[in-house]
Amino acid sequence: MAVKGKQDKADVKDNSLRNRRIWMGAAAITVLVLALFFLFNRQDTPVASQEPDVGVMDMGEVIRAHKDYGKLQTLMREVAALEAELKLKGFEMTAQAAKADKKLFDDAARQKANLEIITRHSETMEELKVRADNIYRRMKPQFDKERDAIDQEYGNRILNIQLKADNAVTLELSEAERASLQAEWNRLKDERNEKHNKLLADQQRRYDEAVEAETGEIRRAMLAERDSIAGKSQADELQHFKDVQ
């Protein structure tokens, strides 16, 4: 943006210098044209005679017959060309100013609209989070019961095996019996953990489905609007890049 600002200032300065040169050139040429015009009209005054000729002098013929008449024509054409260029330049600068003003207005309006959308999205995200938290609080008691049921199913069995292993000497258990208890203890713990993992995955699925059912439509609409804004912004940047080329 800083580079663009410098470029715009440079363009304005170049236009100002160019316009000044054009006006100065036009003024100089106009002075020359007037000078030549008066020069052509100021013919050498003939010596008065006793019997002056009587007649009407055709000034147009006199001017066209002058040796510098071609230069006069060239200067007049250059003046006309400069006047046309000045008019065209003025029109272009007016059009560019109008276009720049419209772009500034459009950019400001779009930024204001985007800010309003971003604010609304932030508020919507907070609302969705509150809804999701409420859904979890509603489902949590059931989830806790399901996990507790698994713990109760395996907890007593694992505890009994642990007690036997701790009292192996008192119970006079053989090495084979001790190894069997350890293997059963490991098996029950692994089985319990596997059931817990499956239950957690199922609970997560049910929670996600509940959140989607209650908030999915709002969330999808918000994401679609955000993507649309991002796409429009990118398209505007590309168009602006083309315009300044």
Mean pLDDT, rounded, for 161-174 = 85
Query: And the tokens for 101?
Result: 């003003």
Rounded Cα gap, residues 113 and 107, in angstroms: 10
122 near 202, Cβ under 8 Å?
Answer: no
The kind and range of the H/E element at 89 are: helix 69-166
Domain boundaries, the chain: 12-43+58-89, 120-243
Instruction: List pLDDT tens digits, range 197-232.
Output: 999 999 999 999 999 999 988 888 888 877 777 666
Confidence grade of residue 174 (pLDDT, cut at 50, 70, 90): confident
Query: For residues 70 and 233, which has the higher predicted lDDT (pLDDT)?
Result: 70
Tell if the pTM clears 0.85, that is, is over it.
no
Query: And the tokens for 211?
Result: 């959140």
Question: How deeply is 161 buried, as exposed, middle or buried, from its count of CB atoms within 10 A (0-12, 13-18, 19+)?
Answer: buried
